[in-house]
Amino acid sequence: MAPSIILLFSGKRKSGKDFLTDHLQHELKDRCEVIKISAPIKSHWAKEKNLNLNELLSHSEYKEQYRLEMIRWSDSVREKDYGYFCREACSHASAKPIWIVSDIRRKTDIRWFKETYKDLIKTIRIVADEETRIKRGFQFQDGVDNVASECDLDDYDEWDLVINNGEGRLPVQEQLNPIHQLLSKL
């Protein structure tokens, strides 16, 4: 069964994608399913290199050691099939009315979702100033922070919602209010 709405979240490293989508999931409970495009990438990498999948899926420093290699490998797959990981991630989603995709990174991700699910798509950008991201552990890495994985959506300007999760941010319930307003129109 197709969902009634698909929320695509994007944001730079340590902007708070997981933090906000975890809160949203907590509020929506079993009405929603959280989908991560990086999940099939991390599963593949864990199997190939005999790594700890749970650590790769967590917020830990562990995954940062492999980020550059995972970006390079996943981009080589995307060159042949830009929708590969989006399709793979969605294929495991269950029949919930609201899908939360927590890690949109490339224009081709948005293209695949819009081609596949048409007007069910809403795009949400999470922004946070660099100082706040640094306080959360962000450290610039060449090959990671200056490539498509982190920068391709910097000039995308058709977001349905933009949420500030940096300096001056609202309390989390208020940050999520505009999303509940979107959902109330369903």
| Interface positions with ligand ATP (CB under 6 A) | 11, 13-19, 59, 136, 165, 169, 172
CA 9 – CA 159 distance, rounded (Å): 10
Site residues, ligand PMV (CB under 6 A): 38, 41, 63, 67, 70-71, 74, 103, 105, 149
Q: Which is nearer to ligand ATP, 115 or 135 (CB)?
A: 135
Tell me the closest approach of the beta carbon of residue 163 to ligand ATP, in angstroms. Answer: 10
CA 156 – CA 159 distance, rounded (Å): 7
Residue 70 binding target from ligand ATP, ligand PMV, none, CB below 5 to 8 Å by type: ligand PMV
CA 136 – CA 154 distance, rounded (Å): 20
Tell me the closest approach of the beta carbon of residue 186 to ligand ATP, in angstroms. Answer: 26
Backbone Cα Rg of the chain? 16
Residue 165 binding target from ligand ATP, ligand PMV, none, CB below 5 to 8 Å by type: ligand ATP
Q: Which is nearer to ligand ATP, 116 or 159 (CB)?
A: 159
**Residue 118, by phi and psi: left (phi above 0), alpha (psi -120 to 50) or beta?**
left
Strand partners, 126: 11, 163
Q: Which is nearer to ligand PMV, 8 or 183 (CB)?
A: 8
- Report which of 167, 165, 162, 166 is spatially closest to residue 178, judged by C-alpha positions: 162
